[in-house]
Structure 1
Amino acid sequence: MNTSSSHRVIVIALLIAAIACYLLIEPYINSIVLAFIISLLIYPLHQHLEHKLARHKNFASFLSCVILTFIIVIPLLFVFGAIVQQGARFSQNLYQWGTHGGVQEIFNHPWAVKAMAFANTYLPFSEINPTEIAQKVAQMSSQFGSQLVGMSARLVGDATAFIMNFFLMLFVLFFLLRDHNKMIRTLRHVLPLSRSQEDKLLEEIEKVSKSAVMGSFLTALAQGFAGGIGMWIAGFPGLFWGTMMGFASFIPVVGTALIWIPASAYLILTNDTSWGIFLVVWSIAVVGSIDNLLRPFLMQGSAGMNTLMIFFSLLGGIHLFGLMGLIYGPLIFAITIVLFNIYEEEFQSFLNRQDKS
């Protein structure tokens, strides 16, 4: 077997082995990627600890993981407890409102009467009967208790899965922090690129990973905080609805409007018009401006990605990978752009000849 054939066999075998390894870790890939991203974010802190504990690398990595746990888990426990409390209170109020004529009161509002008349006259639907709708809402409200029990069971299951994934992420993070330099050296050694190209690729992966986390999650946190303040001022449970607005901000195009539009409509239709208008103005001027200004600012400068690219990377990432697509999407776009730049540099003379031909 000649050298080229031997090399071909080795590359094919390596690819098959790499695919097999990916299939083995695929159920845990999100935890591994999160550990990688977080290791980039907290590496400066870990370097400081490692410098202080130069002879105890294992303990330095363990200490970094413990600090991260306290930073993330302890605040989350307090917030989660408050959300559950406010959510339970809201569900009780919703049940009372639905079973004591609240829906009928909304349909009696002049605007609702006009909208219903317009719909029944011009829209190609069967006639909308407010009484029937009120009865169905009351029936759904009466079943809300049993539904809440089912939701609580699912929530406990989700919380259990989150805890397991979190500790798996910590386990991976420990080794990423401890062996960071060794992994980087190995990666540089096996990549068939020049040192400058490796630097460009690795720097861009780090930059985009950080900007994706900062751009998406910090924007969601800021929008949830601002939205929660607006909802609290308007008379809703602030922490609960602020959290819901934070999650809604991850949804492209619709975003936080999924929460504040129904809330504003409810206030207006229940004769709290001034508070409804206030919530609309607050949500557009304050909450909306955060998304328009903060997200592009935090994600700017990533591999030359403009706002349109960032938008489609987030939209496509969520479509393909779910919530983790907020990281995967920009990362895939950025790596593609860097590889295209490397291709352009490597084949510059050929491309110039093509342009002149």
Structure 2
Amino acid sequence: MISNKSLMITALFVFTVIGAYSIYQPFLLPLTVAILLTMATYNLTKKMIKFFKSRKISAAIATVLLILIIFAPIVYMATTGVGYMSELNVEKIKHVTVVFKTFGEEIPIVKEWIPTALSDEKIAEYIQEATSYLTTAGSVGLGFVKNMILVLVFYFLINYYGERFFDLIRALMPISKMKSAKMIHEVSSTMEVVFYSIIVTAIFEGFLFGIMVSYFGYNGLLFGVIYGFASLIPIIGGAVVWIPVSLYAWTTIDANAAIFIASYSVVVISIIADTFIKPVIIKVIKEDLLKSNIEVNEIVIFFSILAGMSTYGFWGMILGPAITSFLIAITKIYIDYNSKEQLLAKQ
């Protein structure tokens, strides 16, 4: 039977948690992402601690690596991309539309659509809408930069305090230490495989695209970075990059260049690299590099990333698989607990 003292302590704890949530709610997303990234890179950090004999140095190096791998390309993409956007003047836009009009007049269905969709009034509306989108993206970008900085700060602190932080999480779980440790291990192992697989495949596919577009005189580094991040988007993936680039090449270079960019992107990257090479990369990372025995269902991971990104945006590719793996782990524990309860009831 629960005593009055236990009820009072529980009530105070609940009210304190509610109060803390109301104060720290803006920091929960970056804190959660930082925790998951720490779990994903836990083994790497542990090896660095063993090598450098210093938790502070290891936490600092891990944070710098995270900046170089994830956040530096985002900053480069944003700053350089804005420079390219500023070069798109009205004359260039008109030149592109003239080419589309000339080509579209030869297609019966498109011919009827062109006069209204590509009129001067409509083009002015498109430019106005694009400007509003850029303004909105700028405000969202400021929020992203703030969260990015907070993620890095929390990531360093969690790595620095290490086991003490996760011991606290295990102590707060209303299950045995063995089960809580197993749950954290499953989430951590899943995050580790997903994190390194995402990083390696994004770099690989971005490299393939960047090398190809640089041949046509475009900024290979910029478009490689953009394609790498776009490849993380489930279903459509790199199509959001190669379609506009091939259309732009069609208007500024020639039709052969556009056909080559589109064909290369579909055959070499989407079919060969993404369909055949990517599973091999994931297998090598999982079995040879990480020595992980965790069973990661690629279909579940695919839908968890899709659901996560549709809800949380960029951070969803980290939160989606983590929440899903946590759900699977807690479901296993619940089934095990329920089976034992039913067995005791029969006795």
Instruction: Name the TM-score class by shorter chain.
Output: 0.7 to 0.9
CA distance in 2, matches of 1:52, 1:129: 65
Residue 306 (structure 2) pairs with residue 322 (structure 1): no
Whole-Å Cα distance in 2 between the matches of residues 174 and 74 of structure 1? Answer: 14
Q: Give the aligned partner of residue 304 of structure 2.
A: 313
Distance 2:52 2:117 in 1: 71
Equivalent residue in structure 2 for 1:133, among 109, 118, 134: 118
Unpaired runs of 5+ residues, structure 1, are 121-126
Percent identity of paired positions between Structure 1 and Structure 2 = 21
Give 1:264's match in structure 2, choosing from 243, 246, 262.
Answer: 246
More deviation in 334-343 or 239-248? Answer: 239-248
| Cα gap change, 1:89 to 1:22, in 2 (>3 Å) | closer
CA distance in 1 between counterparts of 2:81 and 2:329 reads: 47
1:196 is the counterpart of 2:187: no
Code of the residue aligned with 1:21 in structure 2: it is A
Alignment match of 2:158 (pick from 148, 173, 176) = 176
Query: What is the match of residue 39 of structure 1?
Result: 38
**In the alignment, is the contact (CA less than 8 A) between 2:209 and 2:265 conserved in 1?**
yes
Q: Which moved more, 1:259-268 or 1:130-139?
A: 130-139
The aligned amino acid for 1:331 is: A
How far apart, CA to CA, are the structure 1 residues paired with 2:259 and 2:156?
Answer: 50
In the alignment, which residue of structure 2 is the partner of 1:124?
A: none
Distance 1:22 1:79, change over 3 A: closer
**Closer, same or farther: CA 219–134 of 1 in aligned 2, 3 Å:** farther
2:201/2:281 contact within 8 Å kept: no
Question: In the alignment, what sits opposite 1:114?
Answer: 106
The aligned residue for residue 26 of structure 2 is 27
> 1:247 & 1:279 partners in 2: Cα distance?
18
Larger Rg computed on CA atoms? 1
Q: Cα offset for 1:27?
A: 0.8
Cα shift at 1:305: 4.7
Partner of 1:298: 282
Cα distance, 1:288 vs structure 2: 1.5
In the alignment, the residues of structure 2 paired with residue 136 and residue 335 of structure 1 have an alpha-carbon distance, to the nearest angstrom, of: 52
8 Å contact from structure 1 (residues 104, 130) kept in 2:
no
**Structure 1 residue 137: Cα displacement:** 7.1
- Of the three residues 189, 200, 208, the one matched with 1:207 is 189
**Residue pair 2:33, 2:319 contacting (<8 A) in 1 also:** no
- Choose from 83, 86, 90 the match for 1:88: 83
Q: CA deviation at 1:320?
A: 2.2
- Residue 93 (structure 2) pairs with residue 98 (structure 1): yes
For 1:204 and 1:332, locate their aligned partners in 2 and report how far apart those are by CA, in whole Å: 11
- Give the SS at the match of 1:193: coil
Q: Distance in 1 between matches of 2:116 and 2:334?
A: 67
- 2:233 counterpart of 1:229: no
Q: Is the 8 A contact 2:242 2:261 kept in 1?
A: yes
Output aligned runs, 1:244-259, within 5 Å. 244-259=226-241
Please tell me whether the aligned partners of residues 59 and 156 of structure 2 are also in contact (alpha carbons under 8 angstroms): yes
Contact 1:215 1:295 in 2 (8 A): no
Matches of 2:89 and 2:109, distance apart in 1: 28
Q: CA deviation at 1:280?
A: 1.9
- 1:56-95 equivalences under 5 Å are 60-61=55-56, 63-73=57-67, 80=75, 84-85=79-80, 88-89=83-84, 91-92=86-87, 95=90
Instruction: Report the Cα distance in structure 2 between the residues aligned to 1:177 and 1:253, rounded to whole angstroms.
Output: 34
Shift in Å at residue 316 of structure 1? Answer: 1.7
Structure 2: how far apart are the matches of 1:181 and 1:256? 39
In structure 2, distance between residues paired with 1:276 and 1:21: 55
**CA deviation after TM superposition for structure 1 residue 203, in Å:** 0.5
- How far, CA to CA, are the matches of 1:257 and 1:342 in structure 2? 41
Which amino acid is 2:189 matched to?
A: K
Instruction: Check conservation: 2:190, 2:321, Cα contact below 8 A.
Output: yes
> What is the alpha-carbon distance in structure 2 between the residues aligned to residue 133 and residue 245 of structure 1?
28
Classify the secondary structure of the residue corresponding to 1:128. helix
Deviations 1:251-298 (A, max 9, x none): 332221122123334445677233222212221223224444527963
Quote the RMSD (CA, aligned, Å). Answer: 4.2
- TM-score scaled by length of structure 2: 0.75
In structure 2, distance between residues paired with 1:302 and 1:318? 27
Q: Residues 184, 134 of structure 1: CA spacing in aligned structure 2 closer, same or farther, 3 A cutoff?
A: same
Alpha-carbon distance between aligned partners in 2 of 1:142 and 1:69, rounded to the nearest angstrom? 40
The number of aligned residues is 336
Shift of residue 327, structure 1, vs aligned partner: 1.6
Shift of 1:235: 4.2
Distance change (3 Å), C-alpha of 1:53 and 1:26:
same
CA distance in 1, matches of 2:235, 2:97: 29
Q: CA deviation at 1:202?
A: 1.3
Amino acid at match of 2:231: S
Change (3 A) 1:190 1:85: closer
Does the C-alpha gap of structure 1 residues 137 and 206 become closer, same or farther in structure 2, counting only changes over 3 Å?
same
Bigger shift: residues 6-15 or 312-321: 6-15
Residue aligning to 2:289? none
SS at match of 1:255: coil
1:153 Cα shift? 11
